[in-house]
Amino acid sequence: MIATQLETSWQRWLIRIAVFLAMLTLTVPGVWVVLTAFRPNIEVMARPAIWIPQDWTLDNFRRLFGFSSAQQGLPVARYFLNSLVISLTSTVVAVLIGMAGGYAFARYRFKGKATLFLAFMLSRTVPGVALSLPLFIIWARLGLIDTSVGLIIVYLAINIPFTIWLTDGFFRQIPVDLSEAAQIDGCTAWQAFWKVEFPLARSGLASAAIFAFLTSWNEYALASQLTRTTASKTMPVGLMDFTAQFTVDWTGMSAMAVLIIIPALVLTFIVQKHLIAGLTFGGVK
């Protein structure tokens, strides 16, 4: 058995340190926000900076949910639900549509293929400000303002080019022979797809799903425009409620941010499973 280690243990440690430093850089700014959610406002502006909160408190969360006399709470649960419904729905549908489109581009040769592909890509070059007002006007006529459906459709348009390209790339990596082999064995093309190609593309579909979800979950600009009330307002829009004209309520905003981050983290962790490289092409040589 040939050793698959190309590096010495010294190199391995170097790699581990590099990864640690990289992770640190990635997390520190974010961790600051999380810590701020648990500290009183006066600590935020301290000089020299107080890194670990001296005065842990859950007050910020209490204020958020309205258990304090100072203000009315925010309908956080409602925002959370809206975000969840809108993000999950648009993700699932975008992945399905993307899968269909990606398969078409990966496996078929047809007239207008290059043009169509480019058209999908170019649909994303339209700047937001050019799109947002006419979109608002049309959605208003259709009665889609302040509805989850309205926002879901818009997020689909944002995510579909994405999911198509990603799945296209992943389907291309799967040898066509596999599907053909299955068809020789008696499956129809449809069955061959679901039995053979779909499982192998899982890692691609999982990454497409994660991106689509995170894009929708964190999107602010269009959401703030197309939503009005708790009927459809999402969490990022709720986040901006904390920036009043004069003071940015840092601790309140951080508390809200924690609520936005945690579900995203949890979901990502769960979907990770399908990113695992299970690919062995041992079956076809």
Footprint on residues 27-86 left by another protein (CB under 8 A): 27, 29-30, 32-33, 40-42, 44-49, 70-72
Report 179-208 residues binding another protein (CB under 8 A): 180, 183, 203-204, 207
Burial per residue of 16-35, b for 16 or more beta-carbon CB atoms within 10 angstroms, e otherwise: eeeeeeeeeeeeeeeeeeeb
Q: 67 and 76 in contact (C-beta within 8 Å)?
A: no
Q: What are the φ/ψ torsions at residue 248 (nearest 5 degrees)?
A: -85, 120
Quote the tokens at residue 182: 């299955």
The DSSP line for 130-170 is HHHHHHHHHHHHHT-TT-HHHHHHHHHHHHHHHHHHHHHHH
* C-alpha span between 104 and 257 (Å, rounded): 39
Dig out the tokens for 21 from the structure.
């430093």
- In the DSSP assignment, the letter for residue 248 is B
Q: Cα 259 vs. chain centroid, distance in angstroms? A: 15
Contact residue for another protein among 216, 236, 255, 259 (CB under 8 A):
236
The tokens of 14 are what?
């170097």
End-to-end CA distance of the chain: 20
DSSP β-bridge partners for residue 248: 243
Token pair, residue 122, equals 């170019």
Contact residue for another protein among 95, 192, 253, 259 (CB under 8 A): 253
Closest approach of another protein to the CB of residue 40, in Å: 7
| Residue ranges in 8-27 that form contacts with another protein under rule CB under 8 A | 12, 15-16, 18-19, 22-23, 25-27
Interface with another protein, residue 1, by CB under 8 A: no
Judged by CB under 8 A, the chain residues 206 through 235 that form the site for another protein are: 207, 210-211, 214, 218-221, 224-225, 228-229
Q: Which is nearer to another protein, 41 or 89 (CB)?
A: 41
Tokens for 149? Answer: 């459906």
Q: Which is nearer to another protein, 81 or 271 (CB)?
A: 271
Q: CB of residue 270 vs another protein: minimum separation in angstroms?
A: 10
* Closer CB to another protein, 85 or 241, in the complex: 241
Smallest distance from the beta carbon of 13 to another protein, in angstroms? 11
Please say which residue, 52 or 125, places its beta carbon nearer to another protein: 125
Interface positions, 92-151, toward another protein (CB under 8 A)? 97-98, 100-101, 103-110, 113, 116-138, 140-141
When the beta carbons of 85 and 211 are compared against another protein, the nearer one is 211
Q: Provide, rounded to whole angstroms, the least separation between the CB of residue 84 and another protein.
A: 14
Angle at Cα 241 formed by Cα 41 and Cα 55, nearest 5°?
15
Give, as ranges, the residues between 262 and 281 that touch another protein (CB under 8 A): 264-265, 268-269, 272-273, 275-277, 279-281
Q: How far is the CB of 67 from another protein (least distance, A)?
A: 15
145-184: contacts with another protein (CB under 8 A): 153-154, 156-157, 160-162, 164-166, 169-170, 172-173, 176, 180, 183
Q: How many residues bind another protein (CB under 8 A)?
A: 129
Q: Which residue has the tokens 């269009």?
A: 222
* Cα 97 from Cα 163, distance rounded (Å): 8
Continuous H helices in 174-249: 176-184, 189-192, 198-200, 202-218, 221-226, 235-240
